[in-house]
Amino acid sequence: MHCFPFTLIFLSTLFIFFTFPITLAQQPYIGLATNACPRRGNSNSIRGYTCNGGSANHTCQAYLTFRTQPIYNSVYTISTLLSSDARHLAETMSVSQNTTFETNKLVIVPVQCSCAGEYYQANTSYAFQNTDTPFSIANNTFEGLTTCQALMHENHNPGHLYLGRELTVPLRCACPTKNQTEKGIKYLLSYLVNWGDSVSVISEKFGVSCNNTLEANSLSLTKAKIYPFTTLLVPLHDKPSNSQTILQSQPSSTSSSPPPSSSTHQSSNKTWLYVVVGGVFALIVLTAVIFCIHYHKGRKKDDSLSQLTVSESFENQQLGKEMKKGDGKLSEFIHGIAQSFKVYSFEEIQRATNNLNSSSLIKGSVYRGVMNGDLVAIKKTEGDVSKEIQILNKVNHSNVIRLSGVSFNEGQWYLVYEYAANGPLSEWIFFGKFLSWTQRIQIALDVAIGLDYLHSFTSPPHIHKDLKSSNILLDSDFRAKIANLSLARSVKGVDEDDQFLATRNIVGTRGYMAPEYLENGLVSTKLDVYAFGVLMLEILTGKEVAAILAEDNNKNLSGVLSAVLGEERLKEFMDPSLQSNYPFELAMFVFEIIVGCIEKDPASRPSMQEIVPTLSRTMNSSLSWEMSVNISG
């Protein structure tokens, strides 16, 4: 017996049965699930708005919003990117076709929206660039007007991306339903939600009924929360205009509630009908899918462990032992590193630290010193430091701590680093010191950029393997630097999506170590991604991960966060020292990033290359929020 032919017939029958109700239903707002790639959320709506206009070949005039970027900031470049008619775009914005807009200007873009199979979409094309990923194309280049899932579904063999490959990009648009048309609604506008936006604010901006907007997105008075970087459908009776893109006084960080509805009873009756019908349909489909899964479960194989590249666990450790046996190897090693780092005499180390006096001790075996008039941090250590020195020799990045010199004396190494005036991040988030929302996001972004540099721009790529708050140092401007690369290792020749290295030497810090590493010794860049998610969680909550798990009596971080997101416990979960001085929608968005980073399946976690631009957008929105608060305050 084959499951899928049965399912196809079964679902086709259901489709015929439910066709009429679907033509009346509105589009669901699925929020942050559109930012996943692809890890959570099985809703088909993630791929696009469902064709529900009553005709399989339905085409209509629709509108999108787009915020200008340095590259896409003119009528020509925006119309080219989104395959819009430049003349119509210029007419809509009441400008000439050669106009260049200021950065972050909200632009209304007219498009032809058509049914393509199950979904409405306005297709455009995009040439793949070297630094692109499906995630960055969807969420950064196109700002959320498409989704990673839609891109991967629309393009054959999405895993095979190369420079110049022409991708079809399905943009999120929709046409009015029969019910909406009867109400005089002629157009639907896909609005990109920004920080501080609410359904009522957006509705007022475009002069439409808040209730109509709620209904168009299958939202309600009690469920009207929307999030930045997602699309909201705005039902329009008339064509939109440039006047509706002019920024008004910034709203507060807490979304205001929509006004009461005069037709709540009527809408709720329809909503109740749609919910019941949709629920029955979903239940039946779910039953069929579960049947298929169980049928094929025994035939599936886990390929993760079959694609291991076994490596030695203790590479380079012999070098340290040999150094202790004789001066030949030591002299050769020091001579080699002298080409890149200054080699200090032990007397210089003593002078810099007042003879290694306890008054110069920062913490552990790290001393504060002065070299050539500059403050430095001097780390005293023994054993093999060759790997860390070799890695730092290849690194030149502002978000990775800089090694400036070394010294060796009687079996002890002294590593001289740049000085980070504000010390480890752990001292700030766990011990009562205050960091603002914007400072926390900047720190997270700095760490993400540093990790991306290690993963993508060092040769060979490296992973840190011990990322935690005490290994993040803050300079005088509270900019973050990744420190302590003693456990770092190369991952040369490993495709992070398909392969892992394997080790039997499990080292690191509990709570930060990814499940596949703890359980099977699997090593990839996704170890650092998992640890980064834990780090961000600690940055936002002000609590160590062990304390978070203990409070919730839950051994699974994903379970803890699901409860926070599902029950909207975010405010009580955030660091109380912030005193609610943060943009709620952006905080929720960052928690979604965290959830993605700590996925159990490493292949489902985003790469640091994907996280960096997303956090960069979050940082820009946070700065705008901070500015508006300062002005209004």
Instruction: List residues with catalytic annotation.
Output: 466
The residues that bridge with 523 in the sheet, in sequence order, are 501
- Between helix 557-567 and helix 584-597 the angle, nearest 10°, is 150
The residues that bridge with 377 in the sheet, in sequence order, are 368, 417
Residue 323 in tokens: 């150094």
Q: How far apart are CA 178 and CA 386, in angstroms?
A: 71
Sheet holding 500-502, edge to edge: 308-310, 500-502, 522-523
Cβ proximity of 445 and 612 under 8 Å: yes
The residues that bridge with 462 in the sheet, in sequence order, are 490
Q: For the chain, how are helix, strand and coil distributed in percent, rounded to 5? A: 45, 15, 40
* The dihedral sign for the CA sequence 230, 18, 236, 239: positive
Residue 140 per-residue DSSP state: I
Q: Kind of pairing, strands 308-310 and 500-502?
A: parallel
Cα torsion for 38, 40, 46, 52, to the nearest 10°? 140
Q: How far apart are CA 348 and CA 292, in angstroms?
A: 71
Residue 562 in tokens: 């699901």
Report the candidate in 346, 424, 337 with the shortest Cα–Cα distance to residue 385.
Answer: 337
Residue 628 in tokens: 């508006």
> Which residues are within 8 A (CB) of 131 and not within 5 positions of it... i.e. 6 or more apart?
609
Cα torsion for 340, 346, 348, 351, to the nearest 10°? 150
Query: Which residue has 């203990």 as its token pair?
Result: 550
Q: How far apart are CA 46 and CA 26, in angstroms?
A: 15
Question: What is the Cα 510 distance to its own chain's centre?
Answer: 24
Q: How far apart are CA 108 and CA 290, in angstroms?
A: 43
Rounded to the nearest 5°, which phi and psi values hold at 231?
-105, 140
Which run of H or of E encompasses 444?
A: helix 437-456
Q: Provide the 10 A C-beta neighbour count for residue 105.
A: 16
Q: Which residues of 558-568 are buried (b: 16+ CB within 10 A; e: fewer)?
A: eebbeebbeee
Residue 531 in tokens: 């640890």
587-590 long-range Cβ contacts below 8 angstroms, 24+ apart? 587/437, 587/540, 588/32, 588/227, 589/32, 589/35, 589/227, 589/228, 589/229, 589/618, 590/441, 590/444, 590/536, 590/540, 590/615, 590/618
Q: How far apart are CA 146 and CA 121, in angstroms?
A: 9
